[in-house]
Amino acid sequence: MKIAIAQLNPVIGDVRKNSYNIYKAAQKAVDKEAELLLTPELSLCGYPPKDLVLNSTFIEDLWLELQELAKKLPDNLTVLVGIVTENCQANFEGEKSLFNSIALLRNREIKEVFNKRLLPTYDVFDEARYFEPGKQSNFFELTSNKQDAQPIKIGVTVCEDLWNDEEFWGKRHYEENPIQDLVNHRVDLVINLSASPYSIGKQQVREAMLKHSANRYKIPIIYTNQVGGNDDLIFDGNSFAVNKKGEITLRSKGFQTGIEVIEYNPKIQDLNSSYVANIIDSEEEEIWEALVLGVRDYAKKCGFSKAILGLSGGIDSSLVAAIAAKALGSENVLGILMPSPYSSSHSISDAEALIKHLNIQSYTLPIGDLMGGYDRLLEPLFTGTEFGVAEENLQSRIRGNLLMAIANKFGHLLLSTGNKSEMAVGYCTLYGDMNGGLAVISDLPKTRVFALCHWLNRDREVIPHHVLIKPPSAELKPDQRDQDSLPPYEILDDILHRLIHCHQSLKEIEAAGFDHDTISKVIKLVSRAEFKRKQAPPGLKVTDRAFGTGWRMPIAKV
Amino acid sequence: MKIAIAQLNPVIGDVRKNSYNIYKAAQKAVDKEAELLLTPELSLCGYPPKDLVLNSTFIEDLWLELQELAKKLPDNLTVLVGIVTENCQANFEGEKSLFNSIALLRNREIKEVFNKRLLPTYDVFDEARYFEPGKQSNFFELTSNKQDAQPIKIGVTVCEDLWNDEEFWGKRHYEENPIQDLVNHRVDLVINLSASPYSIGKQQVREAMLKHSANRYKIPIIYTNQVGGNDDLIFDGNSFAVNKKGEITLRSKGFQTGIEVIEYNPKIQDLNSSYVANIIDSEEEEIWEALVLGVRDYAKKCGFSKAILGLSGGIDSSLVAAIAAKALGSENVLGILMPSPYSSSHSISDAEALIKHLNIQSYTLPIGDLMGGYDRLLEPLFTGTEFGVAEENLQSRIRGNLLMAIANKFGHLLLSTGNKSEMAVGYCTLYGDMNGGLAVISDLPKTRVFALCHWLNRDREVIPHHVLIKPPSAELKPDQRDQDSLPPYEILDDILHRLIHCHQSLKEIEAAGFDHDTISKVIKLVSRAEFKRKQAPPGLKVTDRAFGTGWRMPIAKV
């Protein structure tokens, strides 16, 4: 029996459009002779719908659309659709009012509904906020239209349901164990419908985990993942299948929609081999694909076709310009140069070289006169004080204003260009360079920004060579360099990784060989910058701990 | 037996200081002859600690401090302290790694630990993210030092544990029912240690709920609540006790720290009457107290003694100035007037009258020259376009820059002054008037802003009369009025309440008698303004649904 895997890119809440895309996938599935179509978790509303599910008619509208969709789908095709459903006994049992469900559609009807059992509540996930965990093991039988076919028993799991293999993780994450339950029910095949956000190296983890489970339980597994950018989250697709030996028998291309077919072979009670796309084996290439998709989808889903950004001649804005040019087309990217009296001559020439390499639009707006205007106005108040952070920030904020004025005037999406190291220690200006609708590289530490630019330049010079070799500087006062106020980025990024990703304490980081005062300073800076991060634009998440919806820190604290 | 109730105001994560305040409360409790001291939920680390609990040494540091505290406390006093503890069997059982606990300290030792059973996951609460629910009923016995005293059996509940009376709510919120379990264990008294954030009218709900439960189960209840502002959340204290007839026998003053004592009388197996503070019976007074506390604590806990804000002569900034003057002292508030050529003459005179009434500092910075500077710089790009949102926003952003420059220069906290109606429909400028460390009235609809100002003027004119009678205007173009682009505020606020608080759909609001096109426009505006709210400063929460940590909406959506 052939099974089609639709790697879909939904728009959150656009139920009509998402439904149409499932319908189109169903037609393709039939063309490919599939008898079962798998779509991702919550494929009808998109993942994550967040508080939209609290709106009174959201659940009803979804159900009505599901019924309409069921009527339109081809006969003899079974389709699994992800949907939010109501928990009718919630009020009597003291349970959450919704389920994260999978509906089974066949012959114009909604035949069955399965509920997700393991609900993630870590990092960016808030599923216990909305959903009651399903209590039953989820499976169904399907008999192929082929002559003499026997029914196949298929186990249904939703995303997190399979992230609980205590052998693989070294510990249990949840009390329940859906795959063990399915094995006890003697299913022939396990499918997993997911909306699993991208992070660096995550596909390797997914494949290793499901290889382990397939091999352990001697059961083939088909994994279907959502693709596309939704605000800060990028879904990479990378749907795949493993046979009962734990071998990969199918892999869809990452970071794009697509439909693939795999055959369940009843003779061997396993999956036949199918198309296996190469896995991206360079972290830099993977990140690049993710960020390009993240920018493209955020712009498209918010209704922008063009983007604007400030070009300082530095490495961060150069990288963001390259990503934007790839995502939206170079003709749709406008780079603004805003030199001040403190700008070095190379800041202009480097930006100009970049503009030429990328073939993007550009404009130059020197900010010296405006700086003078603010100075004159504030002079009576500031007289007798020394040039400091207030004056430095003003330059950044003048630039931020100019970018927003142009963005507002012509309907461009402003991209902010700060990296994760800056965002961590607050080496950035709120209402200045932090301005933007989307923070493209705010989850990339500075050292990773360098690595990505070097990778980008592997065949030809995209990022001007001089940008890569000059010392980083905000150029907000004469001869300023980042390293005047921050530790070298190699050290800073290592300490930050230990703090942010590993939750290490000062003592633990010190034990790893770092200087006490340096760590102490970094900890203070990170803590104090919380108020800036609170007001940052959504930033594309590429690590397992980004400053975004999964980072929830008090501001007023010790 | 006398029981002391400490209404404490912790700083999140400042374990040393919070511990010291518990120690001081213990001394006062002994002075008042109490034998048991109650402190709020998580009193040692403050509520909510959020992701701080994920740091590797946070739990260990808390435990060490708890041990130190136990050693210092007076003999013969039993103290209940709120603390996060480790769930040692988490990895084997597939459970969350922490508990939200209450430690019982007596005679220099940690005698017992009780775990919170019902974990809220709605609105601003994320407790399932960190904590495993406690599975056991929590109670202990305490015998008074008085002659011939019999042991009293005391049931321990933590905040949400008591928010599950299906008779009161008309439905069950949780499967477990801690108070029923305690009654089954024949406890004499139930205590509830809470960190329950303020919202309008919430104290009335708490009292009605616990009166109902006390009366239903014929058991006295003592409710201890945290007080103080922590970021967007304001905790109002208002600790109280109800006897088994459901009568209030104690009430602490709201919005301030304090320690009160109540006596459990074994003869009547009930609570004697004690101090009962008047409940604030005006919603406006309640909101005023909440906002003053919110501003005071946010400033203090972030290390600010002075605040700055822009004064437009409008009602919003006038109200915020009055709140700031009350919270920080009028000598610590600096109002900046930034008239443009579009400013009306009364915008200056009204602001000046306010400054005089409040006796705050002020300074005037006309922005006309800077507007000209931006216009000249952008002229080549903007030529041929019409004056529009870009130009309007620029004025607001120039003002935002000036305020931030002064705030940065002198270390002031910038307060933003937008109201909830504006924030809802996006009638505000990102990086302009939205600038600030704290949004003081962003949870007050415009109609409520008017009501609060009228209340404030009940004895004398604080907010200048003319501010209250002139039509609201952003004054960003000639003769502009809010009502040119928005429905009248009475209608807008009603529609917004239905959308935001009641989750009503267009059809439902239409059925309530509102115009289809007006509702449709408001829904679109609210949806489109999500990107602005994402970047707003923390806003003091005073309703049951604020645009803050409890509002989680996708930006890119339909």
pLDDT at B476: 87
Residue A270's closest CA among A334, A203, A201, A222? Answer: A222
Q: Tell me the domain boundaries of chain B.
A: 2-276, 285-482+528-534
CA-nearest residue to A170 within chain B is B91
From CA B101, how far away is CA B81, in angstroms rounded? 8
The predicted-structure confidence for A472-506, as pLDDT tens digits, reads as follows 888 888 888 888 889 999 999 999 999 999 999 99
Residue A469 pLDDT > 90: yes
Q: Residue A169: its chain B contacts at CB < 8 A?
A: none
pLDDT at B450: 98
Q: pLDDT grade, residue B52 (50/70/90)?
A: very high
The predicted-structure confidence for B177-226, as pLDDT tens digits, reads as follows 999 999 999 999 999 999 999 999 999 999 999 999 999 999 999 999 99
| CA angle, B361 then B366 then B368, to 5° | 165
Token pair in block for residue A424: 């961590």
Question: Cβ of B437 and A129 within 8 Å?
Answer: no
Which strand (E) or helix (H) includes residue A386?
Answer: none
Share of chain A residues as helix, strand and coil, in percent rounded to the nearest 5:
40, 20, 40
pLDDT at A22: 98
Kindly report the length of chain A: 558
Tell me the residue type at B360.
I
The predicted-structure confidence for A536-556, as pLDDT tens digits, reads as follows 999 999 999 999 999 999 999
Token pair in block for residue B300: 């203090």
Q: Any idea which architecture B2-276 has in CATH?
A: 4-Layer Sandwich (3.60)
Q: For residue B237, what is the DSSP state?
A: B
Report whether B537 contacts B430 (CB < 8 A). no
The predicted-structure confidence for A386-439, as pLDDT tens digits, reads as follows 999 999 999 999 999 999 999 999 999 999 999 999 999 999 999 999 999 999
From CA B132, how far away is CA B42, in angstroms rounded? 15
Give bridge partners of residue B78 from the DSSP assignment: B36
Beta strands A413-416; B361-364: pairing state = unpaired
Q: Tell me the CB-side half-sphere exposure of residue B262, using CA atoms within 13 A.
A: 28
Q: Residue A366: its chain B contacts at CB < 8 A?
A: 377
Question: What average pLDDT score do residues B246-265 get?
Answer: 98
In sequence order, which residues have a C-beta less than 8 Å from that of residue A191 and are 6 or more positions away?
Answer: A3, A38, A80, A154, A155, A156, A157, A221, A222, A223, A224
Residue A337 pLDDT > 90: yes
From CA B475, how far away is CA B308, in angstroms rounded? 21
Token pair in block for residue A58: 């959201």
**B54, B121, B406 ranked by CB distance to A503: nearest:** B54
Q: How far is CA A255 from the centre of its chain?
A: 11
Interface test with B, best of A169, A535, A549 (most B CBs within 10 A): A535
| CA angle, B342 then B347 then B352, to 5° | 140
Three-state SS annotation for A433-445: CCCCCEECCCCCC
Question: What average pLDDT score do residues A120-129 get?
Answer: 98
CA-nearest residue to B296 within chain A is A556
Unique residue bearing structure tokens 């009808």: A44
Q: Residue A93: its chain B contacts at CB < 8 A?
A: 172, 175
Q: What is the interface pTM, i.e. ipTM, of the complex? A: 0.96
CATH superfamily of A2-279: Carbon-nitrogen hydrolase (3.60.110.10)
pLDDT at B477: 86
Q: Residue B553: its chain A contacts at CB < 8 A?
A: 50-52
Q: pLDDT grade, residue A86 (50/70/90)?
A: very high
pLDDT at A162: 98
* Catalytic member of A35, A45, A116, A475: A116
Unique residue bearing structure tokens 């076919």: A149
Cα distance from B274 to chain A (closest Cα, Å)? Answer: 35
Report whether A465 contacts A455 (CB < 8 A). no
A135 is catalytic: no
Cα distance from B130 to chain A (closest Cα, Å)? Answer: 8
Least confident range from A43-47, A450-454, A481-485, B410-414: namely: A481-485
Residue B45's closest CA among B226, B190, B223? Answer: B226
- Positive/negative CA dihedral, B511, B512, B517, B522: negative
Cα distance from A151 to chain B (closest Cα, Å)? Answer: 34
Token pair in block for residue B256: 């301030």
Q: Residue A556: its chain B contacts at CB < 8 A?
A: 11-12, 229-231, 297-298, 301-302
Q: pLDDT grade, residue B17 (50/70/90)?
A: very high
Q: Provide the percentage of residues in chain A whose pLDDT is more than 70.
A: 100
Report whether A236 contacts A249 (CB < 8 A). no
Residue B102 pLDDT > 90: yes
Cα distance from B16 to chain A (closest Cα, Å)? Answer: 10
Residue B8 pLDDT > 90: yes
Question: Cβ of A402 and B55 within 8 Å?
Answer: no
Q: Residue B302: its chain A contacts at CB < 8 A?
A: 531, 555-556
Q: Residue B166: its chain A contacts at CB < 8 A?
A: 94
Q: Residue A505: its chain B contacts at CB < 8 A?
A: 55-57
pLDDT at B265: 96
Task: List the strands of the sheet with B151-158, edge to edge.
Answer: B139-143, B151-158, B189-194, B221-225, B240-242, B248-251
Q: What b-and-e string marks burial along B431-443, b requiring 16 or more CB atoms within 10 Å of the CB?
A: bbbbbbbbbbbbb
Task: List the strands of the sheet with A248-251, edge to edge.
Answer: A139-143, A151-158, A189-194, A221-225, A240-242, A248-251
Token pair in block for residue A31: 């063309």
Q: Could you check whether A2-279 and A285-473+529-534 share the same CATH topology? A: no
Unique residue bearing structure tokens 């019409």: B386
Report whether B324 contacts B441 (CB < 8 A). no
The predicted-structure confidence for B466-501, as pLDDT tens digits, reads as follows 999 998 888 888 888 888 889 999 999 999 999 999
Mean pLDDT for chain A overall: 97
Report whether B188 contacts B208 (CB < 8 A). no
Q: Residue A172: its chain B contacts at CB < 8 A?
A: 91-94
pLDDT at A484: 86
pLDDT at A452: 98
How many Cβ pairs within 8 Å bridge chains A and B?
269
Residue A73 pLDDT > 90: yes
Q: Residue A65: its chain B contacts at CB < 8 A?
A: none
Question: Cβ of B56 and A538 within 8 Å?
Answer: no
Tell me the residue type at A72.
K
The dihedral over CA atoms of A126, A130, A133, A136, expressed in degrees to the nearest 10, equals -140
Taking residue A94's Cβ as centre, other Cβ atoms within 10 Å add up to 18
User: For B240-398, where are the E strands, in sequence order?
Assistant: 240-242, 248-251, 258-265, 270-271, 307-310, 333-337, 361-364
Question: Cβ of B55 and A505 within 8 Å?
Answer: yes
Question: Cβ of A176 and B388 within 8 Å?
Answer: no
The predicted-structure confidence for B539-555, as pLDDT tens digits, reads as follows 999 999 999 999 999 99
pLDDT at B474: 86
Cα distance from B72 to chain A (closest Cα, Å)? Answer: 23
From CA A262, how far away is CA A3, in angstroms rounded? 5
Which residues of B are tagged catalytic?
41, 116, 159
Q: Any idea which architecture B285-482+528-534 has in CATH?
A: 3-Layer(aba) Sandwich (3.40)
Token pair in block for residue B435: 């600038």
Q: Residue B231: its chain A contacts at CB < 8 A?
A: 554-556
Question: Cβ of A171 and B388 within 8 Å?
Answer: no
Tell me the residue type at B203.
Q
pLDDT at A371: 98
From CA B427, how far away is CA B515, in angstroms rounded? 21
Tell me the residue type at A224.
T
Cα distance from B203 to chain A (closest Cα, Å)? Answer: 24
CATH superfamily of A285-473+529-534: HUPs (3.40.50.620)
Q: pLDDT grade, residue B24 (50/70/90)?
A: very high
Residue B298's closest CA among B12, B532, B52, B536? Answer: B12
Q: For residue A151, what is the DSSP state?
A: E
Residue B411's closest CA among B540, B294, B538, B303? Answer: B303
**B56, B229, B536 ranked by CB distance to A505: nearest:** B56
Question: Cβ of B405 and A374 within 8 Å?
Answer: yes
Question: Cβ of B401 and A402 within 8 Å?
Answer: no
Angle between helix A516-528 and A489-500 (nearest 10): 60
User: Coil, strand or helix: which one is B74?
Assistant: coil
pLDDT at A192: 98
**B172, B369, B505 ranked by CB distance to A57: nearest:** B505
Residue A120 pLDDT > 90: yes
From CA B319, how far away is CA B509, in angstroms rounded? 31
CA-nearest residue to A303 within chain B is B556
The predicted-structure confidence for B327-372, as pLDDT tens digits, reads as follows 999 999 999 999 999 999 899 999 999 999 999 999 999 999 999 9
Interface test with A, best of B93, B121, B383 (most A CBs within 10 A): B121
pLDDT at A43: 98
Question: Cβ of B388 and A373 within 8 Å?
Answer: no
pLDDT at A112: 98
Kindly report the length of chain B: 558
**A166, A538, A554 ranked by CB distance to B231: nearest:** A554
Q: For residue A128, what is the DSSP state?
A: G
Interface test with B, best of A64, A340, A531 (most B CBs within 10 A): A531
Question: Cβ of B552 and A126 within 8 Å?
Answer: yes
Interface test with A, best of B173, B369, B381 (most A CBs within 10 A): B381
**B91, B405, B437 ranked by CB distance to A390: nearest:** B405
pLDDT at A123: 97
Question: Cβ of A556 and B297 within 8 Å?
Answer: yes
Interface test with B, best of A9, A18, A416, A431 (most B CBs within 10 A): A431
Residue A12's closest CA among A174, A229, A186, A296? Answer: A229
Angle between helix A389-410 and B368-382 (nearest 10): 40
Distance between terminal CA atoms of chain B? 60
